[in-house]
Structure 1
């Protein structure tokens, strides 16, 4: 049985940011939904406003993969059942809410070091804010050409 959009979003929130507290989980949910709603660029072209297309886009979310570089990935959405807080945050994000300080960020990652100014490496994102262990990046003008 396939998971609903709500279930998938709750699962990826837990998997990607479960240890980041309410604010960290809302930040990740906001960024994912920003990808769904962005009106231009790669995520608009590929996702077409569809959460599932965004989540299943190749190479985007480690938690959507059961294997990374030939090694089993045990921390994935299929092995990480959500708790009520994850459903609550998924519902919040699906209703159109967003964490204000995330703005229109389209990327996040945990660099295990200081946040680099640009991410991804192709220069389409610029540092916006760090929340707990994750760095968040807004699209640059270059993103519109992707």
Structure 2
């Protein structure tokens, strides 16, 4: 089954940030759209302003990978149908909206996630 770009985007938002609340979902949507509109570097070269190309760029989103660390990935955009809130966030981002404070960021991570300190030791020391 072929999904529209909007449907894929809503599915990605749910899969990547469905448990992060509205601001978390909008943050992910903002970053994805920043990659779509990047005027330089890797995302311009690979995405070329195309949302589908950004979503399916290899090794960018675990929700698009059929295997993660050699294991079958049960949580993918194909196995996780979106709800109305995910379509609403996708439409919000597709309309050009951005979450304040995200700016032109091209990556995201949750500094409160238990694994964040492994990759970002300074995050463990931030008093949030």
Same fold (TM over 0.5): yes
Structure 1 residues 111-146: Cα deviation after superposition (integer angstroms, max 9, x where no partner): 52347289xxxxxxxx9xx9x9xxxxxxxxxxxxxx
SS for the counterpart of 1:74 is coil
CA distance in 1, matches of 2:42, 2:121: 21
1:116 aligns with 2:125: no
- Tell me what 1:83 maps to: 83
Structure 1 residues 2-34: Cα deviation after superposition (integer angstroms, max 9, x where no partner): 110100000000000000110110000000000
Q: Which has the higher strand share?
A: 1
Q: How many residues align?
A: 121
CA distance in 2, matches of 1:25, 1:69: 25
Unaligned runs of 5+ in 2: none
SS for the counterpart of 1:78 is coil
When normalised by structure 1's length, the TM-score is 0.76
When normalised by structure 2's length, the TM-score is 0.87
- Tell me what 1:96 maps to: 96
Q: Which has the higher helix share?
A: 2
Unaligned runs of 5+ in 1: 119-126, 133-146
- Tell me what 2:25 maps to: 25
CA distance in 1, matches of 2:12, 2:86: 9
Runs of 4+ aligned structure 1 residues displaced above 3 Å come to none
Higher relative contact order, chain-length normalized (CA < 8 Å, sep 6+): 2
